[in-house]
Structure 1
Amino acid sequence: MKNLMLKVGTFFFKYRNQAFPLIIVALFVAAPPTVSIFGSTELERWKDVVALVVILSGLVLRATVIGYAYIKRGGLNKRVYAKDLVTEGMFGVCRNPLYVGNMLVYSGLFLFHGNPLVVVVGCLVFAFIYQSIIYAEEEFLADKFGQGYRDYCRNVPRWGLKLSAFASSTEGMAFNWKRVIAKDYSTMSSTLIAVVATEFYRLAADSITEQEISYAVVLGALLVAVLAFTGLTSSLKKLGVFDDMTTAH
């Protein structure tokens, strides 16, 4: 089983930027988002609040990771690679904090959609894919860094957050908010777009009533604002506004 997961992990490490959006779109198209839970719109609203909190916690975790110690997750030529073994910042709290953040974001998006099929299948598929990617990375890191990496694995959990280690892991480090914006603005934008698109999908599942037109306009304006933010941030990045940020830890 692990050999299969290593192959799956190697594949998705290389093609995740293309595959993940396709998987999410396929799941969301396969079933419409829920408008009520057991006939209750109040429960649906509370479910959405929980989903948004989960999404936000994932984005905050990603920002914390990148702000303290960024690791280029694209590898080398889209293959698993690491020049150094980074164990400080949030990597002293969890071995895969970015992936934990991603799983929170994806799980929140699936929960926000609400269809049981999407929630269950989406969470299971992405958990399997990320565990496979982690196996592929662990094999590379164990081979390259040997005993140092094995000691690191004994002290730091793979998926859990050892929050008691946060203070010592970030001691003497400065949080780099510019790096967070430069490196993660696309993730923030795509997540917001997914939330807005899902809400509009839910609104337009049947037909938009006169009472819902103003809400649809708000959603459209929010989408435009997110796209404008994305374009502005991309332009500022090209102009070198973020050039003084450190690209390593």
Structure 2
Amino acid sequence: MPPVWLASFLALAWAQKRWLPSGLDLGEAWPAFLGGLLVGGGVLLLALAAMEIRRHRTTIIPRREASALVTTGIYRRSRNPIYLGDTMILLGMICYWEAILSLALVPVFVWSIEMRFIVPEEDHLRRKFRMDFARYCQNTRRWV
């Protein structure tokens, strides 16, 4: 499940902050402000995406069969707003903790989520919704 992956990467970033601090001090205000913006934005994306999925009465659980192709609301801007929100939360917490060395985890997280969840989900949607999904992919980017 993607939340487990997010929690694992957050634990790695926290461990890096705790046991391998970078020694970089940006003050208290900026890391907290930037981290708060990113985490807040990520949570907002998650909430908007969940509400849109619920409105269409389809599943939010990866690997379950979708009963509808959601292309409205936040899904007009991103095909994967939940994963984008997860990434923003990870980046925000890395900023908040000033775990600068953990910035390298962000592309690893994105790649892992893409290979483990996004590609299989999109393959399923492509088979089930065919032309509707193809049009959606032409008009909406995978991430942003």
Provide the TM-score with structure 2 as the length reference.
Answer: 0.80
SS across alignment from 1:31: helix
Which of 4, 8, 14 does residue 28 from structure 1 map onto?
Answer: 14
d(CA) in 2 for partners of 1:34 and 1:69?
Answer: 40
Cα gap change, 1:68/1:135 in structure 2, threshold over 3 Å: closer, same or farther? Answer: closer
d(CA) in 1 for partners of 2:22 and 2:33?
Answer: 14
What 5-or-longer segments of structure 1 have no aligned partner? 1-14, 161-249
Question: Is contact 2:74–2:81 with CA below 8 Å preserved after alignment?
Answer: yes
1:142 and 2:142 are equivalent in the alignment: no
Which residue identity lines up with residue 16 of structure 1 in the other structure? P
- Residue-by-residue CA offset, 1:38-67 (whole Å, 9 max, x unaligned): xx53xx421221111111111122222233
Matched residue count: 138
Cα gap change, 1:127/1:93 in structure 2, threshold over 3 Å: closer, same or farther? Answer: same
Cα gap change, 1:59/1:16 in structure 2, threshold over 3 Å: closer, same or farther? Answer: closer
Which of 66, 84, 87 does residue 103 from structure 1 map onto?
Answer: 87
Partner of 1:157: 141
Report the alpha carbon displacement of residue 34 of structure 1 after superposing the two structures with TM.
6.3
SS across alignment from 1:158: coil
d(CA) in 2 for partners of 1:80 and 1:66?
Answer: 15
Q: How does 1:69-218 map to 2 (within 5 A)?
A: 69-70=53-54, 71-75=58-62, 79-118=63-102, 120-132=103-115, 133-160=117-144
- Residue-by-residue CA offset, 1:5-64 (whole Å, 9 max, x unaligned): xxxxxxxxxx43444323321331233266752xx53xx421221111111111122222
Report the alpha carbon displacement of residue 74 of structure 1 after superposing the two structures with TM.
1.4
Cα gap change, 1:98/1:20 in structure 2, threshold over 3 Å: closer, same or farther? Answer: closer
Task: Report runs of 4+ in structure 1 exceeding 6 Å deviation.
Answer: none
Cα gap change, 1:129/1:143 in structure 2, threshold over 3 Å: closer, same or farther? Answer: same
Pick the structure with greater CA Rg: 1
What 5-or-longer segments of structure 2 have no aligned partner? none
Cα gap change, 1:19/1:96 in structure 2, threshold over 3 Å: closer, same or farther? Answer: closer
Q: How does 1:17-56 map to 2 (within 5 A)?
A: 17-32=3-18, 37=25, 41=27, 44-56=28-40
Provide the TM-score with structure 1 as the length reference.
Answer: 0.49
Question: Is contact 2:31–2:97 with CA below 8 Å preserved after alignment?
Answer: no
RMSD, aligned α-carbons: 2.3
Cα gap change, 1:55/1:17 in structure 2, threshold over 3 Å: closer, same or farther? Answer: closer
1:16 and 2:2 are equivalent in the alignment: yes
Question: Relative contact order (alpha carbons < 8 A, sep ≥ 6): 1 or 2 greater?
Answer: 2
Which residue identity lines up with residue 60 of structure 2 in the other structure? R
- Residue-by-residue CA offset, 1:130-170 (whole Å, 9 max, x unaligned): 2222111111111111111101111122111xxxxxxxxxx
Cα gap change, 1:74/1:66 in structure 2, threshold over 3 Å: closer, same or farther? Answer: closer
